[in-house]
Amino acid sequence: MSGVAGLVGSHLADALIEAGHDVVGCDNLTGGYLDNVAGQVEFHECDVVDLESMVKITRGCELVYHCAATAYEGLSVFSPHFVTKNIVQASVSLITAAISNGAGRFVFCSSMARYGTQDRVPFTEDMMPQPQDPYGIAKYSVELLLRNLCQVHGMEYVVVVPHNIIGPRQKYDDPYRSVASIMINLMLQSRQPIIYGDGTQKRCFSFVQDVVDPLVKVGTSAGLSGEIINLGPDDDFITINELAAKIAQIIEFDLDPLYVSARPQEVHLANCSADKARALLDYAPRVDLESGLRSMVGYIQAKGVKPFEYQAELEITTSMTPRTWKDRLF
Ligand SMILES: NC(=O)c1ccc[n+]([C@@H]2O[C@H](COP(=O)([O-])OP(=O)(O)OC[C@H]3O[C@@H](n4cnc5c(N)ncnc54)[C@H](O)[C@@H]3O)[C@@H](O)[C@H]2O)c1
């Protein structure tokens, strides 16, 4: 599994170990925490882009989950080289390694960014992808590469399309992504959250365990090869303003957000239909948004708030670059 120190990868590794599987995982620790990785994982600190390492660590693996990514949608128009390298090139390395070692199935975590702006929401898997930033374009490119290589070489594959996952273990000191974690880290430091645009953009949020359970099924159930499946709830569609208000209520914080210019290419309405996941995977989320946010607040309180780290470099700085990043406002 790639990305085993990240939010999804670390919880997925726990679930697979619990189910009796042996897990080999890798991560370069740019977006995850080492203490997320369970002791039973055979862990390799390495870069997925490096084909030789991927060939070594996937030897003997029957099932490969590809969870590693630089999941920076907003940043991707300003740091396209960094973001796409860790999605396209990294994925090609892992797919190549898996095929060359005779793996049976490859599960790729794509993203709702593949859909871009569509005529209607919720997005359904039969819609023609229209990604509108390098992150979404990279994810969709990987889907095409995966399909092509699997068709030629006969490896089974499934594409899952998660959206806006929250939960403990998510990196919360990264200024470029994960709106709920950023807001909690700020409010716990008695700092006001920063909202791009007017905050009326709408999203649905999934608790990580509600993504992990279907992901285990996707890897281990027969007959899903070639499917693309959205993974996330299609109710509880809320605005970013409402999200901030919910977090403030949990923390008992006096909310007065700072509004800054909208980010270029941000999709206004984005949520996915869960009909296919319900039909194929009995998808039924169990953790509501408020409980999910409460457990994140508990996690960040226990670990301690942190200053934000500007690890990713801005490759393009123009008048459109958000001042939150240019002027390091977080
Ligand atoms: N979290 C979300 O809201 C969300 C939404 C849609 C899709 N996804 C996708 O789901 C997957 C898992 O997301 P997540 O929330 O766990 O992200 P995450 O950032 O928590 O975990 C990804 C992990 O990949 C690692 N990584 C990145 N580039 C790497 C490289 N070149 N080599 C080795 N390791 C590398 C990071 O260090 C990190 O630990 C990603 O593919 C992401 O694009 C996530």
- Rounded to the nearest whole angstrom, what is the distance from the C-alpha of residue 16 to the centroid of ligand 1? 18
Separation CA 70–CA 73 (nearest Å): 9
Residue 129's domain comprises 7-166+206-231
pLDDT at 299: 98
Look at 10-14, 298-302, 322-326 and tell me which has the smallest mean pLDDT: 322-326
User: DSSP secondary-structure letter at 123?
Assistant: B
State pTM to two decimals.
0.97
Residues 304, 158 share a domain: no
Whole-number pLDDT of residue 48 = 98
Cβ-based neighbours of 72, under 8 Å, separated by 6 or more: 79, 83, 135, 176, 177, 312
Asked if the structure places residue 1 within a domain, the reply is no
Q: Are 133 and 158 in a shared domain?
A: yes
pLDDT in tens, 291-306: 999 999 999 999 999 9
Indicate if ligand 1 lies below 6 Å from the C-beta of 109.
yes
| pLDDT confidence of residue 75 | 96
Whole-number pLDDT of residue 265: 80
> What pairing do the DSSP bridges indicate for beta strands 24-27 and 42-45?
parallel
What average pLDDT does range 154-181 have in this prediction? 96
DSSP designation for 144 = H
The CATH number of residue 57's host domain is 3.40.50.720
Q: What's the mean pLDDT in 237-254?
A: 96
313 falls within a domain: yes
Residues 189 and 136 in one domain: no
Is 174 part of a structural domain of the chain? no
* Residue percentage of the chain with pLDDT more than 90: 93
Local confidence band at 327 (pLDDT 50, 70, 90 cut-offs): very high
Q: How many domains does the chain fold into?
A: 2
Question: Is the domain of 190 the same as that of 56?
Answer: no
Atom of ligand 1 nearest to the CA of 36: 39
Tell me, yes or no, whether 52 and 108 share the same domain: yes
Q: How far apart are CA 95 and CA 188, in angstroms?
A: 41
Instruction: Tell me how far apart the alpha carbons of residues 125 and 112 are, in angstroms, rounded to a whole number.
Output: 10
H/E element, 256? none
Specify the 3-state DSSP secondary structure of 305: coil
Mean pLDDT computed over every residue of the chain: 96
pLDDT at 269 over 80: no
67 CA from centroid of ligand 1 (Å): 5
CA of 29, closest atom in ligand 1: 37
Binned at pLDDT 50, 70 and 90, residue 159 comes out as very high
For position 102, what pLDDT does the model report?
A: 98
For range 143-164, the mean pLDDT: 97
Q: How far apart are CA 71 and CA 84, in angstroms?
A: 10
Same domain membership, residue 160 and residue 24: yes
pLDDT digits (tens, 9 = 90+) for 47-78: 999 999 999 999 999 999 999 999 999 999 99
Q: Which two tokens stand for residue 197?
A: 């645009």
Same-domain check for residues 51 and 21? yes
Q: Is residue 279 part of a domain?
A: no
Q: Do 223 and 296 share a structural domain?
A: no
The CATH number of the domain where 263 resides is what? 3.90.25.10
Tell me the pLDDT tens digit for each residue of 170-221: 999 999 999 999 999 999 999 999 999 999 998 889 999 999 999 999 999 9
Check pocket membership of 136 for ligand 1, CB cut-off 6 A.
no
* Ligand 1 site-directed mutation target among 10, 14, 27, most atoms within 8 Å of CB: 27
Together in a domain, 84 and 97: yes
Ligand 1: centre distance to CA 157 (Å):
19
Q: What is the 3-state secondary structure (H, E, C) of 170-231?
A: CCCCCCCCCHHHHHHHHHCCCCCCEEECCCCCEECCEEHHHHHHHHHHHHHCCCCCCCEEEE
297 lines ligand 1 (CB under 6 A): no
For ligand 1, the distance from its centroid to the CA atom of residue 27, given in whole angstroms, is: 9
Instruction: Report CA(8)–ligand 1 centroid distance (Å).
Output: 7
CA of 3 to the centre of ligand 1 (A): 6
Res. 16 pLDDT band, cuts 50 70 90? very high
For ligand 1, whether the C-beta of 23 sits within 6 Å is no
Question: Are 46 and 135 members of one domain?
Answer: yes
Mean pLDDT of 91-108: 98
- Residue bearing tokens 């990514």: 69
At 121, the pLDDT band (50, 70, 90 cuts) reads confident
CA-CA distances (angstroms) from residue 157 to 43, 107, 226? 24, 6, 6
CA distance 224 to 218: 7
Confirm whether 137 is domain-assigned. Answer: yes
Judge if the beta carbon of residue 162 lies within 6 A of ligand 1.
yes
3-state secondary structure of 110: coil
CA of 21 to the centre of ligand 1 (A): 22
> How much is the pLDDT for 268?
81
Residue 322 belongs to a domain: yes
pLDDT of residue 235: 84
- If one residue of 26, 95, 109, 166 were mutated to test the ligand 1 pocket, choosing by the most ligand atoms within 8 A of its CB, it would be 109
Euclidean distance between the first and the last CA atom of the chain, given in angstroms as a whole number: 32
140 pLDDT exceeds 90?
yes
Q: 33 and 21 in one domain?
A: yes
Mean pLDDT in residue range 14-28 = 98
β-bridge partners, 24 = 42
Residue 90 CA, closest ligand 1 atom number? 31
State the Cα torsion 177-194-206-305 to the nearest 10°.
80
Burial label for 144, CB within 10 Å (0-12, 13-18, 19+), is exposed
> Pairing mode, if any, of strands 206-207 and 194-196?
unpaired
Q: Could you tell me if residue 193 is inside a domain? A: yes
Say yes or no: 265 and 132 in one domain: no
- 162 within a domain of the structure (yes/no): yes
301 close to 188: Cβ distance less than 8 angstroms: yes
Is the pLDDT confidence value at 81 over 80?
Answer: yes
327 dihedral zone (left: phi>0; alpha: psi -120 to 50; beta): alpha
Among the atoms of ligand 1, which is closest to the Cα of residue 46? 33
Check residue 273 and give its pLDDT.
95
111, 143, 163: residue to mutate for ligand 1 pocket, most atoms within 8 A of CB: 111
Indicate the top mutation candidate among 41, 56, 67, 79 to test ligand 1's pocket, ranked by most ligand atoms within 8 A of CB.
67
Query: Omega before 122 cis (within 30°)?
Result: yes
Residue at token pair 């907003």 = 74
Cα–ligand 1 centroid distance for 15 (angstroms): 17
Tokens 């953009």 identify what position?
201
